[in-house]
Amino acid sequence: MSTNIHWFPGHMAKAIKQIDEQSKLLDLVIEIVDSRIPVSSANPLIDKLRGSKPKLIILNKKDLADPVVIKRWLNYYKEQQIAVLPLDSKHGKITKIIIEEIYTILNPKIMRDKTRGIKNPKLKVLVTGIPNVGKSTFINTLVKRSSARVGNKPGVTKGQQWLKLNEQIDLIDTPGILWPKIDQHQIALNLAFTRSIKEDILPKEEVCLVALKWMYEHYFSLLAQQYHLSAIKDFDVTNEVGIFNLLLTLQQNRFHKVDEDNVTNIVTDFLNKLWNNEFGLVSFEFPPQKES
């Protein structure tokens, strides 16, 4: 991406400050990430703020991601000894699963407190995540209510909320928090692919072309199904001219015309399909390869 993406509204800065102030009181951080981009959707600020407090990663929206790639991510986190759960917050009963996982992770603390005479210590758990990873839906499903606004756009939750999970566990729900400056090219693109940054600050044609390259390289059959494509012999996905010509082919197949000077229609069509998950189960990020 040619320019860095800056998006750090005042409510995000306020939320970061609040987390920092309350970090000493926290026992556990639950970070919601998007299963399609687990690393890119993890906020590096959270690890700095939580210090040595344990963390549970929720691979959310697993119903949208490539299940083969999700398995690879689970193996990756297991090797890193990081607690992780793949979930689809919109469906299924997740409350029991999450409560059991919280007790498992915090069992050392609970046992320490019991030796000090505290039979039922209060457990304070922070739930956080960047915009549009499904955090509000996760919270609402978890506490079985619709107290938080939800939507398929970033920046919905604005203020911090305290919620009771059970008599022992209190949750702190925070607004979706990005970091002040996204300066890594691929991370910015991945966030754009999953609509975790607002549409009006995206260079849409560039995002479309890079996403098109990814789809051709890794999910050609899904791309071909939507746009009636045939594989191109010896096609080089690193060739920018070739990718643009591929976009023109999509324009021809979709709208029965080609206009090199105006590709807005096909860019909009492609991105809408991407953002509305019409291609099917797609992941935009793979686990790091092991060094041989």
Residue carrying the six token digits 């209510």: 145
Residue 287 DSSP class: P
Let me know if residue 291 belongs to a domain. no
Let me know if residue 261 belongs to a domain. yes
Sheet with 83-86, edge to edge strand ranges: 83-86, 55-60, 28-34, 123-129, 169-173, 161-164
Q: Name 130's Cβ contacts closer than 8 Å, sequence gap at least 6.
A: 33, 41, 43, 154, 176, 177, 178, 191, 196
Residues in the chain: 292
Name the token pair of 32. 């919601």
Q: Does 65 share its domain with 128?
A: yes
Q: Does 176 share its domain with 36?
A: yes
Let me know if residue 99 belongs to a domain. yes
- Residues (pLDDT < 70) of the chain are 1-23, 92, 145-160, 178-183, 290-292
Domain of residue 163, residue span:
5-181
Q: Does 177 share its domain with 254?
A: no
Let me know if residue 288 belongs to a domain. no
Give me the pLDDT at residue 150, please: 39
Cβ atoms within 10 Å of 1's Cβ, excluding its own: 18
Q: Does 225 share its domain with 153?
A: no
Q: Does 169 share its domain with 30?
A: yes
Q: Tell me the torsion sign for CA atoms 206, 212, 215, 217.
A: negative
pTM, rounded to two decimals: 0.85
Let me know if residue 19 belongs to a domain. yes
Let me know if residue 189 belongs to a domain. no
Q: Does 214 share its domain with 80?
A: no
Contact, 161 vs 94, CB < 8 A? no
Query: Which helix (H) or strand (E) segment is 34 a member of?
Result: strand 28-34
Q: Does 166 share its domain with 84?
A: yes
Q: Does 42 share its domain with 167?
A: yes
Q: Does 97 share its domain with 226?
A: no
Q: Which CATH number belongs to the domain containing residue 133 in this structure?
A: 3.40.50.300
Q: Does 171 share its domain with 238?
A: no
Let me know if residue 192 belongs to a domain. no
Q: Does 27 share its domain with 93?
A: yes
Q: Does 32 share its domain with 168?
A: yes
Domains held by the chain: number: 2
Helix (H, G, I), strand (E, B) or coil at 42: coil
Residue 93 CB burial class (10 angstroms; 0-12, 13-18, ≥19): exposed
